[in-house]
Amino acid sequence: MLKNIPAQPGIYRFLDKNGSLLYIGKAKNLKNRVKSYFVKNNDLTPAKQQMLEKIAKIEHVIVTNETEALLLERSLIKKYQPPYNVDLKDDKSWLYVAITDEEFPKVIITR
């Protein structure tokens, strides 16, 4: 499952044997992030350990940068509400990318 995942920014989706979505995550490096779930010494919560037992398929989408991955992850979690994503299922407003009006503008993510 892990050998086809590239070392690029993007989002990953864990699916069970029925094709149901379990979890959506983002990564600066998809290969390293997804592999981190399957390391024996990983300190995963009991819920994440339970999720790992159900994973039958891993899908990924490559994006151009980490910010794009964050925004895509957020929109997909809002849309599909996977059972193991609890942090972004709330009713908070969407994230926006803002550029400050300074001599040296900063790019920030805000609500």
The per-residue pLDDT for range 1-45, each reduced to its tens digit, is 678 999 999 999 999 999 999 999 999 999 999 999 988 766 788
Q: What integer is the mean pLDDT of 71-90?
A: 84
Position 63: which residue type? V
> Is 63 or 93 the better-scoring residue by pLDDT?
63
* pLDDT confidence tier of residue 92, bands split at 50, 70 and 90: low
Q: What integer is the mean pLDDT of 51-72?
A: 95
Q: What is the pLDDT of residue 46?
A: 84
Q: Is the separation of the CB atoms in 28 and 9 below 8 Å?
A: yes
Average confidence score pLDDT of the chain? 88
